[in-house]
Every structure is written in C-alpha cells, then in structure tokens.
Amino acid sequence: MAKKKKEAPLTGITVSKEEDFSGWYTELINKAELADIRYNIKGFVVYREWATITIRKMYRKTEDLLEKKGHLPLTMPSLIPESNFLLEADHVEGFAPEVFWVTEAGSSGKLAERLALRPTSETALYKMYSMWLRSYKDLPFKRYLSCQVWRYEGKMTRPFFRGREFHWIESHNVFATMEGAMEQVKEDMETTYQILQDECCIPLIFFQRPEWDKFAGAVHTYAADALMGSGKVLQLPSTHLLGQNFSKPFNVKFVDTDGEEKYGYQTCYGPSQSRNYGAMIAYLGDDKGLVLPFDLAPVQIIIIPIIYKGKEEFVLKKAREIENQLKDKYIVKLDDSDESAGNKFYYWELKGVPLRIEIGPKDIEKSHVVIVKRHDGQKFFVQENELKEFIDNLAENYTKEIKEKSLVDFESQIEVAYEKDAAIEAINNGKIVCCGFCSIDFDGEHCAEIVEKDIGGFVRGKRIDEEKHEFATCIICNKPATCTVYIAKSY
C-alpha cells in the first residue's frame, strides 16, 4: 500500500503588513478568497462569497439605521437620460469624464438620446422629486437607494478601495430651510461614526473638503477620512450640502405655510459599502489574515475537533453536541474535514472567524473545551456547563475590544508644521501635517497644487470637530492664514 503523502502545512500571510502594505493587502485578498480581479473588464471585480456575506451585513446595518432616522427606501433605474444629466452645469462638468454611456440597443442601432450608466443618482432622482413634492407637509423628504454606480476611474484600481463599479447606499433629502439641510449633514456624520467607528471599528475624522475637492454641484462637502495608522488616510463616506443648486434646475419645489411656492434645500450622502469593507479589512487585519467584528463575520464560531485514531466518533459526537447548543444564537460551523488541526487553525484565522472552540479526547475527559479569540489570541479553558454563558460574554465584548484597540489617538499621528521643509519631513515620517493655510476656497487651489508637488500629500480640508491649533500664515505662500488644514498621503 502506498504511503499517504505528507500534508503541506498552511501558513498565514507571508508579507508583513507593516513593511509592505500593498503586497500584504493583495495577498490577503487572494489567500482569504475575498475578490477575483480576473473578470475580463478592467476595473470590474468579482466579490467572492466571504466578502459578499460581510458586505451584505454592512448594508443591513446601515439601512436599518437610516430607516430609524426617517429615511425610506427607493429603487431607481440604472440608466439616466443625457438630458437629465445636463441640467446642473457643475455636476455634468465634474462627472462627464467618468461616465459610461450607452449609445446602442439591440438591432435598432443608435439610440436617439445617450443614456448614462448612473455615476451617482442626483439627476435621476430629482426629476422624480419634482413630480412627487407638493407641500411643506411632504418635508422633510428623506429617501435612500442601495445600488451600484459606475465611474470610468482613470487611476490604478484596487479591489474594494477603487474600481469602476462600486456598491453603495446613497440618501437624498429635501428640506424647507438651509438650516434643516445642515442638520441632516450633521446627522449623516453621526451615522457614519455609528456604522464605521462603532460597528466596523475604523478610526476616522470628518473634514470640510476644500472647494476644489468638493462634490460637483455641492455648496460644501464633508468627508470622513479613515486613519489607517501609517500617516495615510482613505476617504470613506461623504455628505454634501447641496442647497438649492439642484432644486432650481430640477424644479424641486413645495408650497410653504405662507402659500408661496419655494425651492427645497437638499443634501446627499454616499456610504460605499465596498470601500468601507476594504478599509475595515485593511485597518483591522494582521499578518495572520482577517480580523472581523463579531456581528459582521460570516462565521462567528468555528469548532475544531482534535482527532486521534480510534477516538474519531467519540470526539465528533461531542463537537456536534456543542454545535447544537450554540447554533440557534450564533453562526457556528463544525470543521470535520480531513485537514490537520494545524491547517484548520491557520485557515480559520486567515478568514477572521472571531472565536475558535477546540475539543479533543482529553478535553472531553475533563468536561471542558478550549476557546481562542482571533483578535488577540487569548485562550480559555471553559467547563462545558459554563460554555453558553462564557460565549455570550465573549460575543458581547468582542467588537468593543477591537474598537478600543483600533481607535488610534488622532493627535498622536499629527505633527504641527510652520514651514514647508518641516511638513515634508513629517509626511516622509508617516505623519499627518497640521498647518496654516491661506484659504480652502478657490483662492487656495494654487497652494494646494504646490503641497501635492513639493510636500507629497494632499490638503484634506479643515476638521469639523474642535480645532486646537491656530497659525498666523499659510505654509506655502506666507499670506495670512484663514484656516487650519491637514495634509496627508492617501490611498
């Protein structure tokens, strides 16, 4: 009889995250089977099963929170007539280079009017809003879509971070006053913190973006930057104060309490679930693989039987009993495959399963099991009769523990700089630069170009929360500073 071939041991990620983030991220996506870039249209990525399950959970959490705050869901067509798209001049100028156009259909040949594959939904929705809104009694009008959008991204694409098709939620709202619209912007920022910081454990901060970097057609844009722990930031959800810039061309009006017809004040908000997922796995992951919050994990508890010859059924029977005890409350999987216990440990750590239960013959004799937490490797020996209560406690605190560990002290990553050379050194040392700036209106755009060219970072804007630093002059042109801004490299 031929000898059984010795099983090759599995390993975690072979590239250090700290030393080579890009290589680490690529290997994580491939080894954990999160996405496949081999689909034969550039920038269009297949999201694999493990990632899709978590992204769907993120959708549900975000949708539930929006609905608790008064938003209702809509489903809109993915095609937008060019005539709609052209109504708001700044908007069309901003998005025209990125639009996919449909120009032909079936055997009928050229279409009479080009149709845009939705890059964002303002020009589709607001045409409908003009038909639906009549009175102040209809306001506030808060609706959202869970959908895909398409943009012809010219930069290098990377799964989840940047592509030409991405998956998001967008909310679009109408109010009677500018003050009401601004309150919605604040609510959107609160929603972002609740989902991304509390549920996904991603540290972030909101900046008011400079005028040259705002959403096309907005009065102001407020964007969340995730602090990725290396001086680099990643833009996550942004919320836009639109004012009446869209309501006027799209005729979104209502009859007010005084009987007068008035234009509404609008906002829009766009959390990309695919990018949020990418930020989460990139920030939380380690050199063993994924680290996932408890509620977002596709499998929450993996049971691994430690099999010895002649004890197979004895151990498997007990493992199935434990599975049955827990599966009504948690997403539990029993790995009874032929792989070695070591390979199973590597595989499920790579997948980021929060809790691992190990059970072998000696554990059964002692009436206990071994539990290992993924995010910190802590190991516990738990008596069987205390198992359910112990698991409940771990599950309740698991995400909180990750959040406490992951929420970096933002101030510790900031370096105050008064001169350009000091800013260059700080950026090269992986810091976020805080400095004076002449203006985040268009007057400061030339200085921002010099920042990008000479310092190697981007002006992210001015922070929304309390600002602790003041400067007399702009770090670039030495004119009087009108604001404090933050400069960082970005993914």
Q: What is the Cα 29 distance to its own chain's centre? A: 16
Q: Which domain holds residue 195?
A: 21-284
Report pLDDT digits (tens) over 139-178.
999 999 999 999 998 777 789 988 899 899 999 999 999 9
Last residue of a domain, one of 227, 259, 284: 284
Residue with tokens 């400067």: 471
Q: What is the Cα 250 distance to its own chain's centre? A: 31
255 and 123 co-located in one domain: yes
What is the model's pLDDT at position 408?
Answer: 75
Work out how many domains the chain is built from and give that number: 3
What is the model's pLDDT at position 343?
Answer: 94
Domain annotation covers residue 238: yes
Domain annotation covers residue 2: no
- Contact between residue 355 and residue 374 where contact means Cβ atoms under 8 Å apart: yes
- Contact between residue 348 and residue 16 where contact means Cβ atoms under 8 Å apart: no
Domain annotation covers residue 272: yes
307 and 334 co-located in one domain: yes
Identify the weakest region by mean pLDDT among 70-74, 93-97, 179-183: 93-97
What is the model's pLDDT at position 25?
Answer: 93
Report pLDDT digits (tens) over 82-112.
999 888 777 777 777 889 999 999 887 899 9
What is the model's pLDDT at position 368?
Answer: 96
Average pLDDT over residues 360-365: 93
397 and 422 co-located in one domain: no
450 and 305 co-located in one domain: no
Model confidence at 1, pLDDT cuts 50, 70, 90, reads very low
What is the model's pLDDT at position 10?
Answer: 57
Q: Tell whether the model's pLDDT for residue 4 goes beyond 50.
A: no
Q: Tell whether the model's pLDDT for residue 356 goes beyond 80.
A: yes
Average pLDDT over residues 119-126: 93
The tokens for 280 are 């989460």
Average pLDDT over residues 64-74: 98
Q: Tell whether the model's pLDDT for residue 462 goes beyond 70.
A: yes
What is the model's pLDDT at position 109?
Answer: 84
The number of CA neighbours under 13 Å toward the Cβ of 146 is 17
**Residue 302's domain is classified under what CATH number?**
3.40.50.800
Sign of CA pseudo-dihedral 472, 474, 480, 484: negative
What is the model's pLDDT at position 407?
Answer: 82
Average pLDDT over residues 412-428: 94
Last residue of a domain, one of 406, 425, 453: 406
What is the model's pLDDT at position 6?
Answer: 42
Distance in angstroms (rounded) separating the CA atoms of residues 48 and 58: 16
What is the model's pLDDT at position 2?
Answer: 41
271 and 372 co-located in one domain: no
Domain annotation covers residue 454: yes
180 and 51 co-located in one domain: yes
**Residue 435's domain is classified under what CATH number?**
3.30.110.30
- Contact between residue 400 and residue 428 where contact means Cβ atoms under 8 Å apart: no
306 and 195 co-located in one domain: no
The number of CA neighbours under 13 Å toward the Cβ of 328 is 4
253 and 307 co-located in one domain: no
Residues 6+ apart with CB under 8 A from 459: 210, 213, 437, 440, 444, 448, 451, 485, 486, 487
270 and 386 co-located in one domain: no
Domain annotation covers residue 11: no
- Contact between residue 486 and residue 414 where contact means Cβ atoms under 8 Å apart: yes
Average pLDDT over residues 230-240: 89
Identify the weakest region by mean pLDDT among 49-53, 225-229, 381-385, 406-410: 406-410
> Which string of b and e fits 28-44 if b means at least 16 CB within 10 Å?
bbebbebbebeeeeebe
What is the model's pLDDT at position 11?
Answer: 63
Distance in angstroms (rounded) separating the CA atoms of residues 477 and 436: 10
What is the model's pLDDT at position 440?
Answer: 96
Domain annotation covers residue 387: yes
216 and 82 co-located in one domain: yes
HEC profile of 212-247:
HHCCCCCCEEEEEEEECCCCEEEEEEEEEEEECCCH
Domain annotation covers residue 8: no
User: According to the per-residue pLDDT averaged within each range, which of 12-26, 96-110, 236-250 is highest?
Assistant: 236-250
204 and 326 co-located in one domain: no
Tell me what percent of the residues of the chain surpass a pLDDT of 90.
Answer: 82
Q: Tell whether the model's pLDDT for residue 190 goes beyond 90.
A: yes
276 and 175 co-located in one domain: yes
Model confidence at 341, pLDDT cuts 50, 70, 90, reads very high
HEC profile of the chain:
CCCCCCCCCCCCCCCCCCCCHHHHHHHHHHHCCCEECCCCCCCCCEECHHHHHHHHHHHHHHHHHHHHCCCEEECCCCEEEHHHHCCCHHHHHHHHHHCEEEEEEHHHEEEEEEEEECCCCHHHHHHHHHHHCCEHHHCCEEEEEEEEEECCCCCCCECCCECCEEEEEEEEEEECCHHHHHHHHHHHHHHHHHHHHHHCCCCEEEEECCHHHCCCCCCEEEEEEEECCCCEEEEEEEEEEEECCCHHHHCCEEECCCCCEEECEEEEECCEHHHHHHHHHHHHCECCECCCCHHHCCCCEEEEECCCCCCHHHHHHHHHHHHHHHCCCCCEEECCCCCCHHHHHHHHHHCCCCEEEEECHHHHHCCEEEEEECCCCCEEEEEHHHHHHHHHHHHHHHHHHHHHHHCCCHHHHEEECCCHHHHHHHHHCCCEEEEEECCCCHHHHHHHHHHHHHHCCEEEEEECCCCCCCCCECCCCCCECCEEEEEEEEC
Last residue of a domain, one of 381, 406, 431: 406
Domain annotation covers residue 158: yes
Average pLDDT of the residues of the chain? 93
What is the model's pLDDT at position 97?
Answer: 83
- Contact between residue 339 and residue 305 where contact means Cβ atoms under 8 Å apart: no
Distance in angstroms (rounded) separating the CA atoms of residues 366 and 37: 48
Report pLDDT digits (tens) over 257-308.
999 999 999 999 999 999 999 999 999 999 999 999 999 999 999 999 998 8
- Contact between residue 232 and residue 176 where contact means Cβ atoms under 8 Å apart: no
Q: Which pairing describes strands 232-243 and 220-227: parallel, antiparallel, or unpaired? A: antiparallel
What is the model's pLDDT at position 473?
Answer: 97
Cα angle, residue 272 at apex, residues 291 and 59 outer, rounded to 5°: 70
**Residue 29's domain is classified under what CATH number?**
3.30.930.10
Q: Tell whether the model's pLDDT for residue 119 goes beyond 80.
A: yes
Q: Is 97 exposed, middle or buried (0-12, 13-18, 19+ CB in 10 A)?
A: exposed
Average pLDDT over residues 458-471: 94
